[in-house]
Structure 1
Amino acid sequence: MTTNPQLVTVITAVHAPSAPFLVEAYESLRSQELPAGWDWQWVIQEDGATDIVTQAIPDDPRISFGQGRPGGPGVARTMGMARAEGAYLKVLDSDDILTPGALARDLAVLTTHPDVGWTTSRALDLLPDGTTKGFDLDPEDGPIERGAVFRHWQANDYRPQVMPASMCARTDLVVALGGWMALPASEDTGLLLALNTVSRGWFTREFGLYYRKWPGQVTALPAHTDKGERGTRAAIAEARVRALEALSGWRFPAMGG
């Protein structure tokens, strides 16, 4: 993989039911204002192979579209990562919307803080009636120390401290960790926990994402709340963290951190 130091790759997994939302996601991406000399690439990977999604892809040369066997959003994103050309990797779920300035804020942190490997931001739930709902338990603006996300996740019934759907990270760091976990859900939380195990992060209190709530989203499906499956997902995510703590011997940056 070759990376462009002034390119951010936005990576999106999509399945047929969420294809109609790609238009709004694209508009929020197209309206982003980036620093001079910067651009974005949008890697869209379908979880499956349907004409429905193919026909929904906007006509823009900055878009790279791929399809493959269904395996869930984590598998789709990791497969799409093979086409990532940017030094930075931004998550955008197919049914979500970036707020104005979201990409610029992420890049400002990652380009001025070389010891920070990833960022997240506040998110607003976008409800079916068009209204939004926020949270009042977000951390303060600024760095998140290594291990803090995992400790919060353990102490709060496996709920992450920050929104993984708003994550932006250094591409080489995501690649080194193997990308998203091959889980039916919580695959993004698993990656976030791994990132925070080896690297400091950064939280931006300015809203960076509208997180759409609708009946067809993967996290709304019955299996997502099944206690047995949820416990299994948590167990493997924790095992990954423990292995990184005990076996890897490396941190980001390579020296110090």
Structure 2
Amino acid sequence: MPARRIDVITAVHPPAAPYLADAYKSLCAQELPAGWEWHWIIQEDGYSDAVTPYVPDDPRIAFHQGRPGGPGVARTMALAHASGPYVKVLDADDQLTPGALARDLAVLEADPALGWTTSRVLDLLPDGSTAGFDQDPADGPTERGAVVAFWKANNFRAQVHPATLFVRRDLLLALGGWMALPASEDTGLLLALNTVAQGYFTREYGLLYRKWPGQATAQTHHTHEAERTARMAVIEARVNSLALLRGTDPL
């Protein structure tokens, strides 16, 4: 019987391509239960000759390119090549911690009522040191609406990190993939998931989140007030619409 597959989706653009080697090492260090395997789908946000040299030579890896539209568009296009029951997000400049995939898989395999998981994050600083976050939620189920409520009460900042997302592929597709936003597209997806399905938070560290000058969230346009206000408004409107479609009050 062929192995069941976890599709790991990575959006990449040329400045982040050199970090693919570290992401690959972290994937190769993952140990999965018998009958499971990972498949890495790398989608370049654009067409260039700058990324291909950094894509590892491994039959478990598929590399694709497409018209530039930002990381949300690239990840959603990568879904065309996903076939397994689960999708794991891995940004090109980040690294999984040992055991992260197996922990995510175990949670969703054990409870069909859960739609997604997230986990704790360690910032990977330029000098190689790491820094954690001391306000993570408790280990266990993430109730519907809990992430949304925290986000609204804390200046539109979620207390769980969308870069750690592990999600059922059919649920991800039902929500249309990542939002078509210039930034915060992953937060928008996370909040939509929290509106329609119960999740789970793992307090074990699941990701090394690289901090470096070239990352998208370090650019000045990411915090441009007018654009950020518009992004948050459309994310909130989507959450409220999804809640109404479920027959519940806006969150």
TM-score (norm 1): 0.94
The partner residue of 2:58 within 36, 57, 60 is 60
* Whole-angstrom CA distance in 1 between matches of 2:157 and 2:183: 13
* Whole-angstrom CA distance in 2 between matches of 1:156 and 1:96: 25
Q: 1:156 Cα deviation (Å)?
A: 0.3
Q: Which residue of 1 aligns with 2:201?
A: 203
The partner residue of 1:166 within 164, 167, 179 is 164
Letter in 1 for 2:243: E
Q: 1:17 Cα deviation (Å)?
A: 0.1
Q: 1:247 Cα deviation (Å)?
A: 2.1
Q: Is the 8 A contact 1:5 1:86 kept in 2?
A: no
* Whole-angstrom CA distance in 2 between matches of 1:223 and 1:247: 33
Partner SS for 2:50: helix
Letter in 2 for 1:230: R
Q: Which residue of 2 aligns with 1:194?
A: 192
Q: Which residue of 2 aligns with 1:150?
A: 148
Partner SS for 1:52: coil
Q: Is the 8 A contact 1:41 1:85 kept in 2?
A: no
The 5-angstrom pairing of residues 11-22 of structure 1 reads 11-22=9-20
The partner residue of 1:82 within 73, 80, 83 is 80
How many equivalent residue pairs?
A: 247
* Whole-angstrom CA distance in 1 between matches of 2:153 and 2:173: 28
The partner residue of 2:36 within 16, 21, 38 is 38
Q: Percent identity?
A: 67
Q: Is the 8 A contact 1:145 1:201 kept in 2?
A: yes
The 5-angstrom pairing of residues 1-257 of structure 1 reads 6-248=4-246
Letter in 1 for 2:93: D
Q: Is the 8 A contact 1:123 1:134 kept in 2?
A: yes
Partner SS for 1:86: coil
Partner SS for 1:185: coil
Q: 1:19 Cα deviation (Å)?
A: 0.1
1:169-224 CA-partner distances (Å, limit 9, x unpaired)? 00000000000001111100000000000000100000000000001011111111
* Whole-angstrom CA distance in 1 between matches of 2:212 and 2:229: 24
Q: 1:64 Cα deviation (Å)?
A: 1.2
Q: 1:248 Cα deviation (Å)?
A: 4.6
* Whole-angstrom CA distance in 1 between matches of 2:97 and 2:76: 24
CA RMSD across the alignment: 1.2
Moved segments of 4+, more than 6 Å: none
| Runs (5+) with no aligned partner, structure 2 | none
Q: 1:249 Cα deviation (Å)?
A: 5.2
TM-score (norm 2): 0.96
* Whole-angstrom CA distance in 2 between matches of 1:65 and 1:19: 12
Q: Is the 8 A contact 1:5 1:87 kept in 2?
A: no
* Whole-angstrom CA distance in 1 between matches of 2:245 and 2:114: 22
* Whole-angstrom CA distance in 1 between matches of 2:44 and 2:107: 30
Q: 1:55 Cα deviation (Å)?
A: 1.3
* Whole-angstrom CA distance in 1 between matches of 2:32 and 2:230: 40
1:114-158 CA-partner distances (Å, limit 9, x unpaired)? 111000000000000101000100000000000001000000001
1:86-114 CA-partner distances (Å, limit 9, x unpaired)? 10000000000000000000000000011
Q: Which residue of 2 aligns with 1:253?
A: none
* Whole-angstrom CA distance in 2 between matches of 1:20 and 1:50: 14
1:50-93 CA-partner distances (Å, limit 9, x unpaired)? 11101111001111111011100000000001100110000000
* Whole-angstrom CA distance in 1 between matches of 2:3 and 2:243: 29
